[in-house]
Amino acid sequence: MKYNRYEIGPYNLHVINTDKFKKNVINVSFKEKVKKENLTIRNFLAAILLKATKSYPDERSMAIKSEELYNIVYDSSSTIYGNYSIMNFEITFLDTKYTSTELLKDSVEFLTEIIFNPNVKDNQFDEKIFEMTKEELKLDIEAINENPQKKASKLLFENMDKSAPFAYLADGYIEDLDNITNKELYDYYKNVLKSNLVDIFVIGNNLDNIKELIINNFKINTIKKPATNYYLVHNKFRKRVKTVKEKETINQSVLKIGFKFDNLTEFERKYVLNIYNYILSGGPDSKLFKNVREKNSLCYNVKSNISKIFNLMIITAGIDAKNYKKTVSLIKKELKNMEKGDFGEEEINSAKAIYNSSILSMQDSPYNLIGVYKAKEYLNLDPIEVRIEEIKKVSKEDIVKLSKKIKMDTIFLLEGECDE
């Protein structure tokens, strides 16, 4: 595997050469500092550009072109990545050794067509496609409140800090969606091309002329600016934990507990956090699984997840509402046990083994490998081989020290009205 990074005018090109996969992937990321008021129109833009282009003016002609290119897969998304909002456009296509030697060129040109040649007339997107896309997005946003887990996460984050990017919805908001006009969407599209930071990631085999193809096709006029810190830093910590309950017509209650990290070192963020999290809830031998779920049968499931970029940890449990107080009490006890160092070398070594297995498995997918190199570029995370060596250095003392920097912020219960 060979990695090259090129600075080409206003954007960066990252090329990962490997013959491990049968398919190649190209990912184009447009980045700007996250603004809540732009999230809806940004998601709208990512969706509509995938629907049609000047050369392929409807979804049927796009699908036919996809078949001609050996069933090339094209996709887009809009995500929140710490302090940045990122629009991704991605295509997946067969390595040219299995197909026509022109497929790489044709694939780059198709992706270029999607991004730079939309189906626009008189400074507006096709009206029928505009309205159809708006309705689809409205259903997607409404679906968040119909999913108990997603709704509980949304309400937890809003109660932790509704002004923070982690509380924003990357899909946007219906009230904003209703007000977006066709012309506003096209004007925003033109602004993105002039103002966003751009990175292009390519992974695959037989990519000898990829740099030339990108230069010839990606005519981006944006001004190159260095990206600032992606990590969200918390300046406010609660003196008393906030507790919120909301009733919902669901069979199983959802408990979410949110934590903020306070002033982590780089080593703690990169490595110690992972081992802490695996000991706490990384499998059937973890603290929460054994003592909350198995021994006391207080929940159907329990899991902790960390977000390094948002400096957060979230513990989630599916419970009966009657077990709420006992479950919270026992979770607090296990967190206190972590601070006391109530775990042994066997648990640490098991957590390290799980970590290594997880890291190595990233090499089994081109999408995960792009994620690895994005993390290296945006978050200064280390390459896989370095991570495997560095994780060996994590000690019990490191884990105990870290555990005292994890501050409980908010306890949220989505209480099932059908829960008995």
Q: What is the pLDDT of residue 10?
A: 85
- For residue 234, name the pLDDT band (cuts at 50, 70, 90): confident
Q: What is the pLDDT of residue 227?
A: 66
State the number of CA atoms in the 13 A half-sphere of 194 facing the CB: 6
Looking at the structure, tell me whether residues 28 and 172 fall in a common domain. yes
Give yes or no: residues 66 and 197 share one domain: yes
- For the chain, what is the mean pLDDT? 94
What is the per-residue pLDDT for 420? 53
Say yes or no to pLDDT of 226 above 70.
no
In Å, the largest CA–CA distance within the chain is 68
Task: Return the pLDDT at 297.
Answer: 87
CATH number of 257's domain: 3.30.830.10
* Per-residue model confidence (pLDDT) at position 75: 98
In this structure, the answer to whether residues 373 and 275 fall within a common structural domain is: yes
Contact 86, 157 (CB under 8 A): no
Whether the pLDDT of residue 418 is over 70: the answer is no
Q: How far does Cα 116 stand from its chain's mean position?
A: 25
Query: Is 189 part of a structural domain of the chain?
Result: yes
Q: Specify the amino acid at residue 16.
A: I
Residues 171 and 250 in one domain: no
Q: Is residue 233, in this structure, part of any structural domain at all? A: no
In a domain, 127, yes or no: yes
Domain, as residue range, for 18: 2-217
What percentage of the chain reaches a pLDDT higher than 90?
Answer: 87
The distance from CA 131 to its chain's CA centroid, rounded to whole angstroms, is 27
CB 181 within 8 A of CB 123: no
What is residue 101's predicted lDDT score, i.e. its pLDDT? 76
pTM of the prediction?
0.94
Give, in order, the Cα–Cα distances in Å from 50 to each of 43, 74, 90, 259, 384: 11, 8, 10, 37, 33
CA–CA gap between residue 116 and residue 219 (Å, rounded): 9
Q: Are residues 254 and 187 in the same domain?
A: no
Query: Could you read off the pLDDT of 87-131 as tens digits, one per residue?
Result: 999 999 999 889 977 999 999 999 999 999 999 999 999 999 999
One domain, residues 89 and 132: yes
Pairing of strands 73-81, 242-248: unpaired
Claim to verify: residue 406 and residue 342 sit in the same structural domain: yes
**In a shared domain, residues 26 and 170:** yes
Give how many domains the chain has, as a whole number.
2
Torsion of CA 110, 113, 116, 119, to 10 degrees: -150
Has residue 230 been placed in a domain? Answer: no
Domain end, chosen from 167, 184, 217, is at 217
| Residue pLDDT, tens place only, 44-66 | 999 999 999 999 999 999 999 99
Residue 121: inside a domain, yes or no? yes
125 in the same domain as 17: yes
Nearest to 200 by CA among 390, 28, 61, 412: 28
248 and 213 share one domain: no
User: 347-371: per-residue pLDDT in tens?
Assistant: 999 999 999 999 999 999 999 999 9
Domain membership flag for residue 235: no
Please report whether residue 202 resides in a domain: yes
Q: Both 380 and 324 in a single domain?
A: yes
Residues 174-210: pLDDT tens digits?
999 999 999 999 999 999 999 999 999 999 999 989 9
State the Cα angle at 175 between 171 and 176, rounded to 5°: 60
- 79 lies in the same domain as 210: yes
In a domain, 237, yes or no: no
Q: Locate the DSSP E strands across 95-177.
A: 120-121, 124-125
